[in-house]
Structures are given as C-alpha cells and as structure tokens.
Chain A
C-alpha cells in the first residue's frame, strides 16, 4: 500500500466517522483492502462499532416508545381512579348514595360536591345519603363546605342523610358550630338507607 492509498483510506474513514457522529448510522466504511491488512482490519472494526451502535439506538428508541406508552396509560388510569373513587350511585327510587373513602382534601371535596349537585339536579331525587365511613379526619374548612353543600341540596329539594361519621369528624363539626338541624346524621349506611326508605313509604 502506498502512502497515498493509506491517506485516502484514512480520509474515507474520517468522513464516515464525521457523518456517523452527526447521527447518520446507515453509513459504512468502504475499502478494497483485505481484512487481514491493518487498514482493512480498522475499517472492519469501525463498521462493527457503527452497527452495534445502530442496534442499540434502535433498541433504545423502542424502549423509549414503550415507556411513553406506559406513562400515558398510568396517567389515564390515575384520572380514572380519581373519578371512580367517588361514584354517585342511584341505589333506590329517589335515593342517591355518595360513599366517600379516603383523604378528603379541599380540592377533592370541591370536585365531589359539584358532581353531586349536578347528579341531584339531573335525577331529581328526594334523598341523598352521604356516607363518610371511609373518612377519618377532615379539616374545618372541608366540614364547613360539607354543611354548605347539604344546605344547597335542601334548596334543590333533596334531604341529606349523613352516615358513618368518625369521632374526629363529629368533633370537627361541633367545633365549627355547624347547624345540624337540616341534616339527619346516622351511625351507619344501613341505618341511613332504612331511614330514607321509611320516610319515602310514609310520604306515600
């Protein structure tokens, strides 16, 4: 191999490497040298590295796409779980049930209650059972808001029955001096349902 040939081979290799570095992984070093010769071996080695790089790039892209898909799914599921966590159930003629489970912060209570008011208007029901067995503690502002919603329900023509108060929630209601004359509070959901059914029967 002449000096000129070596120089031209090195030039070819450098050109390919520059383009590969810029992101074009489809290029390969072209050489007529035998694989046993130093330049041929070098070209072969470089082509091997580029190929390995391309393969790992393809794999990384696949993993990234799969991850993005998963993240999307998680987000959709989180939204679905939030929605499902406070279903409004049409359990009987004229009776809606709203069971609340878990941490009831100001954001969630605003969401839940606006959904409830919409449902009451839509279904025109006489009774709403608000079962908070699954809520251990609320802040005073949430308790206050709860009472306001009960009052709003009254304006819409529905009586509200509050069931499953925990000792701490009962204490909070007393603490804020809530007027409970407009609300029927009962120990359990079972008693609440019985109360509503009896009242409806008596009205007829």
Chain B
C-alpha cells in the first residue's frame, strides 16, 4: 500500500510517476502502468485544483487488481453524471474539462462519492 500527499501540482507529478513505477513493480503490463499513471494524474490534478488538496492511496486488493483512491477536501461535485461529460468544468485557466471523462474511460471500475461534510472520494480500479 502506498499513500501519497496531494498538496500542490508538484505532488501530482510525483504521485503519477510513483503510481506508474508501483504498477510496474507489481507486474502490470506497460499499457496498464501508463493508464494508471494517467488516471492518477487526472484525479490528482482535480484534487489539487478543485478539491483544496488531499491524498492518494494505491492498493492491490487482490492479485491483478490495482486500486487508486483519491480523497480531497473540496466542496464536492454536485452533478456527477454531468461532470464526466466533456467540457463540463474548466476550473483552471488551462484545462480541457475532460479529466473525469478520461478517468472513466481508462478505469475498469470508476466511482465518485461526495461526502456529506464536504470532500470527494474518487475510486478507480484497473484489472490486468
């Protein structure tokens, strides 16, 4: 299990590279390593830019399954269905607004929960 802080965009870069190397160590194929890195990068950027920071946890619940959990302290996402549609949000100056859509496409299991007291939990799972 790996726990990584997500405070600034530098942390997101570190988490992205760490996730890729971790998947490699576990024995995931190259494509899966890169997809997990992309998911981590998108989710991490969201947590830092919109969620006021948080942390990411990487676990292997069973052999051949990689699970990423990103928890932030943000206001949460009101309409999750709308949020995964391209161009829904462009919170920062430079953004394509399709980060969540990318995560949904790249992950095998994708779950987004807004906690009642604020904060968002994003879970993405990759099988290989």
Residues of A within 8 A of B (CB): 74-75, 78-79, 81-82, 102-111, 114, 136-142, 145, 168
Contact = CB atoms under 8 A, between A and B. Distances in A.
Interface stretch (B51-59, B63-71, B94-102): B94-102
Contacts of A109: 96
A139 B41 contact: no
Given A103-B41, A141-B86, A78 B10 contact: yes
Given A75-B8, A79-B10, A136-B30, A107 B105 contact: no
A106 B10 contact: no
B95 A139 contact: no
Q: Which 9 residue pairs across A and B have the least CB separation, nearest first?
A: A78-B10, A137-B34, A139-B102, A141-B98, A105-B41, A106-B96, A110-B94, A136-B34, A103-B37
A188 B57 CA distance: 37
Contacts of A105: 16, 38, 41-42, 45, 99, 102
Interface of B: 8-10, 13, 16-17, 20, 30-31, 34-35, 37-38, 41-42, 45, 49, 86, 92, 94-99, 101-102, 105-106
A82 B98 CA distance: 21
Nearest to A136: B34
A156 B17 CA distance: 35
A168 B42 contact: no
A115 to B, nearest CB: 9
Nearest to A145: B96
A111 B41 CA distance: 14
Given A79-B10, A107-B95, A141 B101 contact: yes
Contact of A114 (B42, B94, B99): B94
A78 B13 contact: yes
A78 B96 contact: no
A46 to B, nearest CB: 42
22 contacts: A74-B10, A75-B8, A78-B10, A103-B20, A103-B37, A105-B38, A105-B41, A105-B42, A105-B99, A105-B102, A106-B45, A106-B95, A106-B97, A106-B102, A107-B41, A107-B49, A107-B96, A110-B94, A110-B95, A136-B30, A136-B34, A141-B86
A104 B13 CA distance: 11
Contacts of A137: 31, 34-35, 38
A81 B96 CA distance: 22
Given A78-B13, A103-B34, A139 B106 contact: yes
B118 to A, nearest CB: 23
B35 A110 contact: no
The winner among A78, A104, A145 for most chain B CB atoms within 10 A is: A78
Contact of B102 (A74, A110, A142): A142
A107 B16 contact: no
A110 B97 CA distance: 10
B99 A75 contact: no
A138 B94 CA distance: 18
A50 B102 CA distance: 59
Contacts of A81: 13
